[in-house]
C-alpha cells in the first residue's frame, strides 16, 4: 500500500480548504406577506409564488386558526411598502 512521502503542514492543508467554507443562503422577501423566503420557492406563510396560489395554507387549519391567519395576512398586505410603480400611480 502506498505511503505519503512526507507529512503536509497544517498551513498547507488549511490553504487547500480555504474555499470550502459555507455560504449564506440568498433570502428574499415575499411580496405578499413580507416573510423571508428562498428564491424560486413558494412562501410557506401565505402559499403564493409569482402571484399564484400554490399551497393552500388555510386547508389544514381549524376555523379559529384560519380566521387569525387571514387577519394576519390582510394586515401584512396593508403594511407592504409601495413600489416605484405604485408611487407613480399616486
Domain ranges (residues) in the chain: 25-81
Average pLDDT over residues 13-36: 90
pTM: 0.51
Q: Which of 78, 84, 77, 70 is nearest to 32 (CA)?
A: 77
Q: Lowest mean pLDDT: which of 16-20, 35-39, 81-85?
A: 81-85
- Can you give the pLDDT at residue 90? 55
Cell representation of residue 86: 405604485
Phi, psi of 6 (to 5 degrees): -150, 160
Structure confidence by residue, pLDDT tens digits, 5-24: 888 899 999 999 999 988 88
Amino acid at each position: 500500500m502506498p505511503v505519503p512521502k512526507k507529512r503536509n503542514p497544517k498551513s498547507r492543508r488549511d490553504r487547500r480548504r480555504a474555499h470550502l467554507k459555507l455560504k449564506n443562503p440568498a433570502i428574499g422577501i415575499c411580496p405578499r406577506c413580507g416573510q423571508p423566503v428562498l428564491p424560486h420557492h413558494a412562501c410557506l406563510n401565505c402559499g403564493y409564488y409569482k402571484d399564484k396560489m400554490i399551497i393552500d395554507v388555510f386547508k389544514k387549519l381549524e376555523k379559529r386558526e384560519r380566521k387569525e391567519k387571514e387577519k394576519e395576512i390582510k394586515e401584512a398586505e396593508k403594511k407592504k411598502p409601495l413600489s416605484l410603480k405604485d408611487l407613480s400611480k399616486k
